[in-house]
Amino acid sequence: MKPKEVLALCREKDVKAIDLRFMDFPGIWQHFTIPVNKLAEDVFEDGLGFDGSSIRGWQAINESDMILVPQPETAVLDPFTTLPTLSMICNIQDPITREDYSRDPRNVARKSVNYLKSTGIADTAYIGPEAEFFIFDDVRFDARANEAYYHLDSIEGEWNRGRVENPNLGYKLRHKEGYFPVPPADQLMNIRNEMMQTMIDCGMDVEAQHHEVATAGQCEIDLRFQNLVRMADQMCLYKYIIKNVARKYNKTVTFMPKPLYGDNGSGMHTHVSLWKGSEPLFAGSGYAGLSEMALYAIGGLLKHAPAILAFSNPTTNSYKRLVPGYEAPVNLAYSQRNRSASCRIPMYSASPKAKRVEFRCPDPSCNPYLAFSAILMAVIDGIQNKINPGQPLDKDIYDLSPEELAEVPKTPGSLEEALSALKADHEFLLRGDVFTEDVISTWINYKSEKEVDAMRLRPHPYEFCLYYDI
């Protein structure tokens, strides 16, 4: 869509407001709104000013002015506002140099795609994430000097089998048995259908929706793969739609990787493939029908996975999902069917166009622009340097001897470990000026101070269970 077409759409749909959106550094969508009569063609070129010092991880207060430039191809009618509103995603620029801002996550994603093209390896990176989430009926939490707690509830929760609900009709999902019972056990079918249809109405290509493994409302809605920047844009809209549809039903959604103890966490298995024109480059005659290029891509992912996880699993909570001995993909190995391996090659279709690599570590707490870009840069590095991924892990991980298991590298055990890995291994991210040293150091410092240290300094409620009577 061109600027003239956006203005024509506004007239056709009697739009009254324009909502301008962008992603902050850690990964939360931000916005402000202007009357529709303030949107002229020159705004798409000149942009609009705002205070960058108030955005997490961005400008200092003495250099706070920033420019926000709407991208017409992202225009969509907002399905939730009372006043007819059209939203657009924006790029961020420096007001003096008019250069794209290095810490704008969308700019990083755009540069990663441009770098891929410059290498001659491929001209398109397709990304297909499978984001999981929980729909809860109630959430309460706080953390103070003298207390800390959280409380979650769901009509589906196993713990509510004996609750007085006037009447309690049963059909509570047992732990790890939420995949795929029909209603009435699955009590969220209608909500997910509305989420799915709202996404379709907003131009998104939805492939499926279903309940996920955990009790208490774990769900998944899958989108068809798109090019990297478009998919990152769509993941922002995906979260927006899911959260707002849930709110209509007086429910709440979280993309936290591990909100419940003792049941499955929420991942975001991310499918990756490279294409040149209409030719899929990951299909071949090698292991699991992969090309040599695809195997090298896996080599890059496995080599750089600890550093990638600083972006793809960027919360302290992420590592309560990635725990050895459970179903989480903590093994830095590849396999054509083994879901305990961090890189899996789906075997659902023999079509060369369906051949891709599924990187199973990421979770939906990530900033999609940064996570997808880090994944792509590792793939490129693997291909350029012909990184051998080693032998596949086709055995059941639970059947391996302790000696065999010890030889399989593991994902980092904490956000602190992942940030340390990023600090030691980020040269591959700097190529093509995709990530900059400024972006890397700001990310490490922000996460270390605001999250790692903030968690380390606070007593944990379970510590009282363990130690109060010492």
String of DSSP letters for 296-328: HHHHHHHHHHHHHHHHHS-SGGGGGTS-TTSSS
pLDDT of residue 324: 80
Using an 8 Å Cβ cutoff, are 356 and 281 in contact? no
Q: Which two tokens stand for residue 191?
A: 């909500």
The yes-or-no answer on residue 269 being catalytic is: yes
Exactly one of 137, 186, 212, 416 is catalytic; which is it?
A: 212
Q: What is the pLDDT along the chain (470 residues), one digit of tens a residue?
A: 899 999 999 999 999 999 999 999 999 999 999 999 999 999 999 999 999 888 988 877 667 889 999 999 999 999 999 999 999 999 999 989 999 999 999 999 999 999 999 999 999 999 999 999 999 999 999 999 999 999 999 999 999 999 999 999 999 999 999 999 999 999 999 999 999 999 999 999 999 999 999 999 999 999 999 999 999 999 999 999 999 999 999 999 999 999 999 999 999 999 999 999 999 999 999 999 999 999 999 999 999 999 999 999 999 999 999 998 777 899 999 998 777 789 999 988 778 999 999 999 999 999 999 999 999 999 999 999 999 999 998 877 767 788 888 888 999 999 999 999 999 999 999 999 999 999 999 999 999 999 999 999 999 999 999 999 99
SS3 88: strand
pLDDT of residue 343: 96
- If residue 416 lies in a helix (H) or strand (E), which one and from where to where? helix 415-424
What is the predicted pLDDT for the residue at 349?
77
pLDDT value, residue 61: 64
Tell me how far apart the alpha carbons of residues 160 and 137 are, in angstroms, rounded to a whole number: 12
Q: How far is CA 168 from CA 155, 165, 312, 327, in A?
A: 9, 5, 40, 32
- Identified catalytic residue from 45, 51, 177, 427: 51
**Residue 54: per-residue pLDDT:** 87
Q: Is 339 known to be catalytic?
A: yes
Give the residue from 48, 72, 19 showing the smallest Cα distance to 240: 19
**Catalytic member of 78, 104, 132, 263:** 132
Instruction: Please state whether the peptide bond connecting residue 35 to the residue before it is cis, i.e. omega within 30 degrees of 0.
Output: no
Which of 78, 263, 358, 416 does the annotation list as catalytic? 358
Active site residue: 103, 192, 269, 304, which one? 269
Q: Is 220 a catalytic residue?
A: yes
Judge if pTM exceeds 0.95: yes
Q: Is 358 a catalytic residue?
A: yes
DSSP 452: I
Q: Say whether 360 is catalytic.
A: yes
* Lookup: tokens for 135: 């729909």
